Structure 1
Amino acid sequence: MVTGEVCESGEFKGWSTWPDEPFEFETAGPFYFRVDEQGPVAAFRAERKHMNKGGVVHGGCLMAFADFSLFAIAHEQLEGEYGVTVAFTSEFLSGPAEGAYIEARGEVLRSGRNLTFVRGLITGDGKACLNFSGTIMRRPLKST
């Protein structure tokens, strides 16, 4: 999970994703991440399947993406290890429309031996949608 797999076509060509995470890749997403000149970034394009009846991205989808983004933002600190979310908070700021480019950026606040603390902001076409913070607990990767 930690290293990701590079997308080879489409809008997110060259970005990484975690296809072995079925909920984030197949059901809620797919979501993508990379590191650019500003640091770690996660993104996806809002599709019909992400919408609620009100015509904006469903809050549960934004929260699932924020959880994905915790790991995208902290992926360098977690290299070679697996992690689980043990705490998560968020506040909704606005609802992005179908077709919006959804992006998350943030920072690792602290990374210790067992816990990594992350905070970030999700935007839809540049407008703030959701702020979030979370704590990741490291787990060793299991060999299969």
Structure 2
Amino acid sequence: MRETDDWGYASASLCAEGEFTGWRHWTQDPYETRSGPFYMKREDDGSYLSAFRAEPRHMNGGGFMHGGCLLTFADFALFAIATEELNGDHAVTLNLAGDFLGAVPPGALVEARGEVTRGGGKTIFVRGMVTGDGKPALSFTGIIRRLTRR
């Protein structure tokens, strides 16, 4: 992994206080920062876990997490899951699809885990699962396109 990249895990800011002390988050994406902030950490097995705590501002009119918030978090998780494959390169989401599986209440710990199902070139395929307090909330698949540096 490059230590001098602009977007990869190594460049993510380290959280120094609160529930997510020791986790990292990207500060270069104003929308994700305002929506979350969302956090990630590398697990002992080399995979990446993403998480955030569900707050009242993340809820819909029915009192459960808004589907748009779940999809925004899944989009963040795509890039966390693909950290090693991206190797610090810039990329964009080409496709993100999800199936809603269950409601997430306020206060829940929301987590995402997944895997790269195909990589090695400019196009990276990812699948994952978002849970709320350990219960399935959203299964997702996504396609990331690596960008050429100018």
TM category (shorter chain) comes to over 0.9
Residue ranges of structure 2 left out of the alignment (5+ in a row): 1-6
Q: 1:55 to 1:138 in 2, by over 3 A?
A: same
* Same amino acid, percent of matched pairs: 48
Q: Verify: 1:33 aligned to 2:35, yes or no.
A: no
Superposed displacement of residue 37, structure 1: 2.6
CA contact (8 A) 2:125 2:142 kept: yes
Once the two structures are superposed, the pairs formed by residues 1-144 of structure 1 within 5 Å of their partners are 1-3=7-9, 4-26=12-34, 28-38=35-45, 39-141=47-149
Q: Which amino acid aligns with 2:79?
A: F
CA distance in 2, matches of 1:76, 1:5: 17
TM-score (norm 1): 0.94
Superposed displacement of residue 80, structure 1: 2.2
Q: Which amino acid aligns with 1:138?
A: R
Q: Secondary structure at the match of 1:76?
A: helix
CA contact (8 A) 1:80 1:141 kept: no
Q: Which amino acid aligns with 2:39?
A: Y
* Count of aligned pairs: 141
Q: Secondary structure at the match of 1:81?
A: coil
Q: 1:140 to 1:11 in 2, by over 3 A?
A: farther
Structure 1 residues 95-144: Cα deviation after superposition (integer angstroms, max 9, x where no partner) = 110000000000010112201100000000010000000000001456xx
The list of structure 1 runs, each at least 4 consecutive aligned residues, that deviate by more than 4 angstroms after superposition, is none
TM-score (norm 2): 0.90
CA distance in 1, matches of 2:138, 2:16: 29
The structure where strand makes up a greater share of residues is 1
